[in-house]
A and B are shown apart, each in its own frame.
Chain A
Amino acid sequence: MIAELGLAALWLAASLALLQLALAAFGLKQGREDLLGGVRPVAVTQALLVALAFLCLVLLFLRSDMSVLLVAMNSHSAKPWLYKFAGTWGNHEGSMLLWVTVMGVAGAGVALFERTLRRDTHMATLGAQAAISLGFYAFLLFSSNPFARLDPPAPDGQGLNPLLQDPGLAFHPPTLYLGYVGLSVAFSFAVGALMTRNVDAAFARAMRPWVLGAWVLLTLGITAGSYWAYYELGWGGWWFWDPVENASLMPWLAATALLHSVTVLATRDALRAWTVMLAVVAFSMSMVGTFLVRSGILTSVHAFAVDPERGSFILALLAIYIGGALALFGLRVGTVREGEQFEMMSREALLVVNNLLLTVILGVVLIGTLYPLMTEAFGHKVSVGPPYFDRIAGPLALILMLAMIVGPLTRWRRDRAGVVAGRLLWPAIVMLGLVAVLAVTAWGRIGVLPFLGLVVAGGVALGSLIPLTKRNLRRTPLFIWGMVIAHLGCAVSLAGMASESAFNVEKLIAMAPGDSVETAGWTVRFDRVAPIAGDNWTAMQADVSASRGGATARLRPQSRFFTSPPTTTTESAILTKWDGQLYVVLGDRLDDGRWQMRIWWKPFVTLIWLGGVLIALGGVLAIIGRERRGWALKLRQIRAGEFG
């Protein structure tokens, strides 16, 4: 019954999305207030129904209902409940249902909480949001029904990829999805603004919290995904330039550019057309990423089910929505009044530099990711690996970081170059000092990029704090704190990346129980190895003691074997210290009874993710700082009974 209820709710939600689109379209076209009055209630009801459908699927997974095809294919009754729960979205159909659910709920949020936008733009935005949802409802109902029954029911499920049996899975994909879909709201705002020819500062202020929110979630999702790959894959790396990773990085780059340009539009009423363009591009990148992952055209690892039919469906959606929005852009943006002008030496100009660099990096990542497809068009499939991305995106990112020092220290509208240079004195001294120190201590031992990375990280770390000087810290607006902390987070993250690639020490050796090895100041002893059993796996677990300066810690890396489906995974053991992480992986047993061990010392590697969290925290502070007044107003209205 639950499956049928879910399916019915999904159909109803889809019909309401169609109704929402129709009401908004005809209401606006014919200027009929009676039709427009229905848009907001319908949007809220649609969100409730699609949330009900998602809840039904969660219940089916929690109850291990093997008469549902999706559950039988992706779950197993022996799995711990958390992974049954996470299994709901750990598959194609479930993740798409999560997608439309978040989209519906975000649409309801726009319907309920947006008060400042011009009414016709608000209605057009809700219509656009319903139009996008409709495509994904159609995708679910016609090509990826999550509630399809299996007759007769399976005796038990086929399990879940053991790599995915990790708490990280429970939260990482939904966080990214929330971010992707948050960008759909920005996209709808852009379409609504173009439709009603209303691109101005008020529009930017309405769109900003959604962009910021989506960006915070994407930042957290990418940070978590990076840490998950780092400890779960057991390869010691934290970013692999894999198509799936790039699929999440590209929307983030676009969203980062957008959140800076939307601030220019909100504050100075400049960069109108460009901001609208970026809003379209940001969500387009989310959809392109979803297409790349779901269609399988780039994954050569055959564990993914390649389904050309689904790929074609998403491609058709891409063509309709992105193509439609870009065509609307071409038609309408010429009629958007030009925004305010600004001088070459102004904060606006530096934010344009930021936007251009981010856009170029986005292009570099996009081209690198699609390179196999492009070369294939000429006969052979070649992919460009990490060297391409590091060498091209790396230097661009460093230039971007340098601009990040200058931007916040420059005034809006117009500033004098000499004065700005004076404010840059201290960061410049720090960077020159770092160049001198590193040149003496590490010249020739570390690569050029890590070298420059450490230098720039020092400059940005100091530079990001300068906007706080000469201010009363208690009275400093929260959004300034947000900017400072986010920029500081970039410096912290960059320092971690540069330090890891400059000073990382790796050791691959064969050890017998009782053996010791010295590496990077640590003494690592392999004490013993013994079998151990878990819920649905067995493992060989090594007991390793690592000591440095008198203190000893235990590490227990495992080589884990899962029964359904049979797969071996390595569980790395990580010891976190203030100055880095010791990372130990247990490899294969050799014929002579010794075991392969991989040991890394990664100095300050944790800064990478700490920086990511700081960046997200900065975003949260910016949202609170910008929106507090609006929320307080809304709350008073609700109390006074003016709601709805």
Chain B
Amino acid sequence: MKSGWLLWLPLALFAALGALFLGGLLHPEERVITSKMIGKPLPAFTLPQAASDRPALVSAEFAQGKPRLLNIFASWCVPCAAESPQLMALAQAGVPIDGIAIRDAREDVDAFLARWGNPYSHIGLDARSSVQIALGSSGVPETFLIDGQGRIVFQHVGDIRAEDVPGIIAKWKAAQ
């Protein structure tokens, strides 16, 4: 190894690695994971009421012809509070949103909604995360778009940020 291009090969490889990392940092799309659940029907469930002033949630709700968002949240989840303004904006834009509260208690959900706003039309309580697991969701918050026939068309992992809102509205319109 006296000279030649070989000596610069490590630097070149590292430069490629650095470019890859930079790409990873600059691409917010990677927050959206292509789920195995896309195109699959929503699992059937019946969940009890989670908040005092919203009705309970059954999966049949999502097969009545109009696309709806299904948001998985919890009163103890800080990112869920962070995404609440975006959910309120979506609700004001006319997107119907139903919620599933994970491992929660009614008083806590009521307090959470009173503090951060209530964009939901129905809220079901998933006390043991069973529906969450059936949905293939690994954490809160997570949001699914379900078409009028009860099929999952889109999954957003993590909190919805302000820049995600227009895209979600567009996807909801496209599903109609």
Contact = CB atoms under 8 A, between A and B. Distances in A.
Q: Most chain-B Cβ atoms within 10 A of its Cβ — which of A158, A280, A312, A381?
A: A381
B24 A327 contact: no
Contacts of A106: none
Given A297-B30, A326-B10, A338 B24 contact: no
A273 B1 contact: yes
Interface string A370-396: 101110110011000000000000000
Interface stretch (B14-22, B117-125, B168-176): B14-22
A334 B3 contact: yes
B114 interface: no
Contacts of B141: 302
Interface string A325-339: 011011001100010
B139 interface: yes
B128 to A, nearest CB: 6
B24 A373 contact: yes
B50 to A, nearest CB: 15
A273 B8 CA distance: 13
A565 B128 CA distance: 16
Interface string B53-90: 00000000000000000000010101100000000000
Contact of A381 (B1, B14, B17, B33): B33
A300 B24 contact: no
Interface string B125-154: 000101000000011010000000000000
B10 A319 contact: no
B27 interface: yes
B7 A318 contact: no
Interface residues of A, number: 44
B21 A377 contact: no
Contact of A370 (B10, B20, B25): B20
B34 interface: yes
A300 B33 contact: yes
A565 B76 contact: yes
A595 interface: no
Contacts of B40: none
Point out which of B8, B11, B79 has the most chain A C-beta atoms below 10 A from its C-beta: B11
A373 B11 contact: no
Contacts of A566: 74, 76, 103
B157 interface: yes
Interface in A321-372: 322-323, 326-327, 329-330, 333-334, 338, 370, 372
B139 A373 contact: no
Contact of A334 (B7, B25, B33, B158): B7
Given A323-B14, A334-B2, A588 B128 contact: yes
A131 interface: no
A91 to B, nearest CB: 14
Contacts of A333: 1, 7
Contacts of B159: 302
Contacts of B157: 300, 302
B23 interface: yes
Nearest to B5: A330
Contacts of B130: 588
Contacts of B103: 566, 568
Nearest to A322: B14
> Interface residues of B toward A: which range?
35 or more
A297 B34 contact: no
Contacts of B25: 295, 297, 308, 311-312, 315
A376 B79 contact: no
Nearest to B138: A301
Nearest to B129: A568
B20 A303 contact: no
A604 interface: no
Nearest to A281: B10
Contact of A330 (B2, B7, B23, B76): B7
A165 interface: no
Contact of B18 (A295, A308, A315): A315
Contacts of A377: 20, 23
Contact of B8 (A319, A330, A338): A330
A75 interface: no
A319 B18 contact: yes
Interface in A292-310: 295, 297-298, 300-303, 306, 308
B18 A323 contact: yes
A23 to B, nearest CB: 29
- Most A CB within 10 A of own CB, among B2, B25, B30: B25
Contacts of A338: 1-2
Given A326-B10, A568-B103, A303 B139 contact: yes
Contacts of A301: 138-139
Contacts of B15: 323
Nearest to A383: B33
B146 to A, nearest CB: 21
Contact of B7 (A280, A295, A323, A329): A329
18 contacts: A158-B78, A277-B10, A280-B10, A302-B79, A311-B25, A315-B22, A319-B18, A323-B11, A323-B14, A329-B7, A334-B2, A334-B7, A373-B21, A376-B29, A376-B30, A377-B23, A381-B34, A566-B76
Interface of A: 158, 273-274, 277, 280-281, 284, 288, 291, 295, 297-298, 300-303, 306, 308, 311-312, 315, 318-319, 322-323, 326-327, 329-330, 333-334, 338, 370, 372-374, 376-377, 380-381, 565-566, 568, 588
Interface of B: 1-3, 7-8, 10-11, 14-15, 17-18, 20-25, 27, 29-31, 33-34, 74, 76, 78-79, 103, 128, 130, 138-139, 141, 157-159
